[in-house]
Amino acid sequence: MEPVVEAAALAPQDAVCDLLIVPVFEDDDLGDLPGLDEATGGEVGRARSTREFKPKPNALFVTRAGGAAWKPARIALAGVGRADSGGVDRLRAACATALRTARRQRADTVAVLLRGPLGGEPAARAAAEGLLLGSHNDARYKSEDDDGPPIRRALVIAAAPLTPALERAVEVGRTLGEAANRARELADAPGNVLHPRLFAEQAEALAGDAGVGVEVLDETAIDRLRMGLLQGVARGSAEPPRLIVMRHEPEGAARSPVLGLIGKGVTFDSGGISIKPAEHMEQMKHDMAGGAAVVGAMRAIGRLGVPARVIGIVPATENMPGGRATRPGDVLAGASGKTVEVINTDAEGRLILADALWYARELGATHLVDVATLTGACVIALGDAASGLFGQPDGWVATVRQAAERAGERLWPMPLYPEYDEQLRSATADLANVGGRAGGACTAAAFLKAFAGDLPWAHVDIAGTAWTDKASATQAKGATGVMVRTLTELAVGAPGW
């Protein structure tokens, strides 16, 4: 359960809440909050002068408050650093950090004060996102939630009067935060629970609820489409594959552009016959995080009434080493007609995405973006600091990158040199599915490029960013919901492409 997040025009002292989050900048004299120090019995002034609290990003100082004039029961000073352009992203993180602390303190209602340079709509939206992202932890499979009961209500408070633009900003932030948390739950779900059939059912519920049309193609329909690459990956599993197709077709939208979002949906990746080592294999339950991001984005796009056409496609399958599994050396033919020699069955993501990219073109997409936990090599290249961004032409890649920047997610540009295409040559088939150890993230992208046709296409490798191994100040251990915000922001920006 998540808090209900709302905008309110209130003076900070009038916010009835268990915790009031006050963003504090560097060189901030808190001059706009004259009663604050007294309300905390001098604690705010003391913590600032002794430097127990420094207004650095992620710093949090919580103290009790009270007195006749102050309704908040506690104050959290939350560092947001310099009052420059990155402040909105630091506010999102500060709100998430404060919410994680508030839960452990058994708070029921929290409020965040928009102040100074963080008083406008971008700040309001980011604050709402942070409140929701920070409130999330997945205790579905525990008898008791270690983080304490959920927070019921969170207010984003701004100076009166509350403008429609500010209220809308909070609504957008709330929608994105909620959609990202739903995507996190999908990716956190264990492989025995979330198999392809259940993934498809949940997509039907999550996107369908938002007014998005959802069609699920079963193994028979997949066979009819001759999707031999998706079938080749699914063969080793007792669970049949699904192709999840989501359509957002708002009334009165122009016929073009049509944004095609494609997400890798491997509900568990054992590696197949080229089986993975045991260590960390349990994390491969999140190998459908790209698909979950597409489902989350379609939900947000529907709920926000984005005026552009968007198609979401998620090929969902397990990658298992059953008796009928694809073997190294096998040749598969995909729906596009191209043949692939499977050198390594653990390079399965590119196979299922190839058929899905073809289908997105078939359904009339004019611009493509795929999102996938595709390669360990991308984790080696960028760690968890950024997702890898590939694609063509440069203008489309730049458009995707700018959407990510507005959404507060990091994409780092990676190359598609012709050398990578050569690494994928096969003596037997049109393409090999791996290109050797060198440049592994780039050869994977080069493989996808062969199936994107001549449409503008971008590929985002989220192998390093979709999952956190350890809980941090801002997020619980597990799935991050990365790319839900960027994909939605990209759709929102469609008229400007």
318 touches Mn ion by CB under 5 A = no
Pairing mode, strands 242-248 and 109-113: unpaired
121 touches Mn ion by CB under 5 A = no
- Residue by residue, DSSP assigns 202-261 as HHHHHHHTTT-EEEEE-HHHHHHTT-HHHHHHHTT-SSPPEEEEEEE--TT--S--EEEE
Which H or E element spans position 22? strand 19-25
Q: Which residue is nearest to Mn ion (CB)?
A: 346
Residue 350 annotated among the catalytic residues of the structure: yes
Cβ contact 210:303 at 8 Å = yes
The distance of closest approach from Cβ of residue 352 to ligand BES in the complex, given in angstroms and rounded to an integer, is 10
CA distance 470 to 476: 7
346 touches ligand BES by CB under 6 A = yes
The distance of closest approach from Cβ of residue 189 to Mn ion in the complex, given in angstroms and rounded to an integer, is 19
Given 20, 179, 292, 463, the residue binding ligand BES (CB under 6 A):
463
Cβ contact 426:335 at 8 Å = no
The distance of closest approach from Cβ of residue 269 to Zn ion in the complex, given in angstroms and rounded to an integer, is 4
* b/e 209-222 (16+ beta carbons within 10 angstroms → b): ebebebebbebeeb
Task: Map residues 275-314 to x or -, x wherever contact with ligand BES holds by CB under 6 A.
Answer: ------------x---------------------------
Count of residues in contact with ligand BES, rule CB under 6 A: 16
346 touches Mn ion by CB under 5 A = yes
CA distance 122 to 171: 12
344 touches ligand BES by CB under 6 A = yes
8-state DSSP, 277: P
Residue 71 annotated among the catalytic residues of the structure: no
40 touches ligand BES by CB under 6 A = no
354 touches ligand BES by CB under 6 A = no
Given 188, 269, 461, 489, the residue binding Mn ion (CB under 5 A):
269
Q: Which of 437, 441, 492, 419 is nearest to 176 (CA)?
A: 492
Q: Which residue shows structure tokens 């404060």? A: 98
Residue range at the interface with Mn ion (CB under 5 A); choices 14-22, 162-170, 253-261, 338-346 = 338-346
The nearer residue to ligand BES, 424 or 491, going by C-beta atoms, is 424
The nearer residue to Zn ion, 151 or 444, going by C-beta atoms, is 444
CA distance 249 to 493: 16
237 touches ligand BES by CB under 6 A = no
Residue 200 interacts, among Zn ion, ligand BES, Mn ion, none and using kind-specific CB cut-offs from 5 to 8 Å, with none
178 touches ligand BES by CB under 6 A = no
- At 87, list the tokens: 């402040």
8-state DSSP, 116: T
- At 378, list the tokens: 């991308």
328 touches ligand BES by CB under 6 A = no
The nearer residue to Zn ion, 286 or 309, going by C-beta atoms, is 286
349 touches Zn ion by CB under 5 A = yes
Identify the sign of the CA torsion 196, 201, 205, 207: positive
377 touches ligand BES by CB under 6 A = yes
Report the interface residues with Mn ion, using CB under 5 A: 269, 346, 348
Report the interface residues with Zn ion, using CB under 5 A: 266, 269, 287, 349
Residues annotated as part of the active site: 276, 350
